[in-house]
Copies of this chain bind each other. A is one copy, B any other.
Amino acid sequence: MKAKITLKDIARELEVSISTVSKALKNSEEISRDTKEKVQAFAKLYNYKPNNIAISLKNKRTKNIGVVIPDIVHHFFTTVIRGIEKYANARGYNVIVCLSEESFDKEVINMEMLANGSIDGFIMSLSSETQQKGDYNHLKEVTEQGIPVVLFDRITHEIECDKVIIDDELGAYQATKKFIDQGKKKIALITTDDYLSVSKARTQGYWKALQESELEADESMILKMPSMEMDEEAIKTFLDNKEPDAVLCVNEIFAVCGMRFAQKKGLRIPDDVAFIGFTDGVLSKYANPSLSVVAQHGEKMGEESAKMLIYKVESEAEEETYQTKILEPTLVIRDSIAH
């Protein structure tokens, strides 16, 4: 086991000072050609690599960015991470991932762990519990310390920071409009409770589209699931009672379950009942029939978030201007609706 070699080791071996070695390795003008070559050759030979921790301590930059998300076993977040990685890695940043698992406490703990020097900034999406409580003090503390934060997807307006979201209202609006244009009359919505910022926006888009049409917007055509957990029975009962001819769902799973019940009842998709979900994940692509969705462009979202964060981190001036980037959703048409 060959231990790591340090500047000090090189200095001792070559009988020069540590500062000389440091400068020689950075090709400083101050050092003679002879010495530089000698040092650089030695360093290469012994595979010298500067210690990241020491550098971090010195210039108060870790080149790490902290990502705190509710869940990783969820296709959307996974694509966001990939986008973040892509952009960040290309610029020499590492990504530290922490999972809140939809828990407020874990979110707080994770942020505290990272906020003491481990990272240069945060990219995060709020846990459902946090959005429900409406308690954002942990975010406030961090921003007050001057640590840049970028919120994506599940955001709050109570914190001043950069944000990246898709236009959820527009996405739902377009999907609902699509149903209307195709002559659907009884359009249902399966969503979660309103405390999730995204669900709220999607519900609004759904309403808007209905109200613009001649169809009556009927509150009872909306099924609000109490949590993200699947409750197959609730969906089944709802579909049995309401018998919609089109269903918009705020995620893939609700939609796929809905389709399964419809098929079991002998309904044809999309003729008898059509489906559109949110999130363009594996489930939608490989469902049978394949599911039309409002694509959220997670990877793009991740890239944008990383871009905004790294810009803030690297800009010396601490401008107090924050922007919210709104990405356009896309309707991906597959076999669960007519086309």
Contact = CB atoms under 8 A, between A and B. Distances in A.
Contact of A89 (B50, B51, B98): B98
A95 to B, nearest CB: 6
Contacts of A64: 96, 118
A253 B286 contact: yes
A117 to B, nearest CB: 4
Contacts of A110: 89
Contact of A97 (B4, B97, B253): B97
Interface string A71-84: 01101001101100
A94 B118 contact: yes
A6 to B, nearest CB: 11
Give the interface residue-count category, chain A.
35 or more
B78 A82 contact: no
Contacts of A260: 286, 288
A94 B113 contact: yes
B1 A49 contact: no
Given A2-B145, A3-B146, A282-B282, A85 B57 contact: no
Contact of A116 (B49, B73, B256): B49
Interface in A251-288: 253, 256-257, 259-260, 263, 281-283, 286-288
A229 B264 CA distance: 32
A78 B78 CA distance: 8
A144 interface: yes
Interface string A94-136: 1111110000000000101111111000000000000000000
A225 to B, nearest CB: 16
A78 B73 contact: yes
Given A57-B57, A78-B78, A2 B253 contact: no
Contacts of A62: 53
Nearest to A299: B73
A127 B146 CA distance: 38
A56 interface: yes
A115 B62 CA distance: 14
Contacts of A211: none
B73 A118 contact: no
A200 to B, nearest CB: 25
A117 B51 contact: yes
13 contacts: A2-B145, A51-B57, A51-B117, A52-B116, A52-B118, A53-B117, A54-B57, A64-B118, A72-B72, A72-B82, A73-B79, A75-B282, A89-B110
Given A53-B53, A283-B283, 4 more contacts: A73-B75, A92-B113, A282-B282, A286-B287
Shortest beta-carbon contacts, A-B, top 5: A53-B117, A52-B117, A51-B117, A256-B286, A49-B116
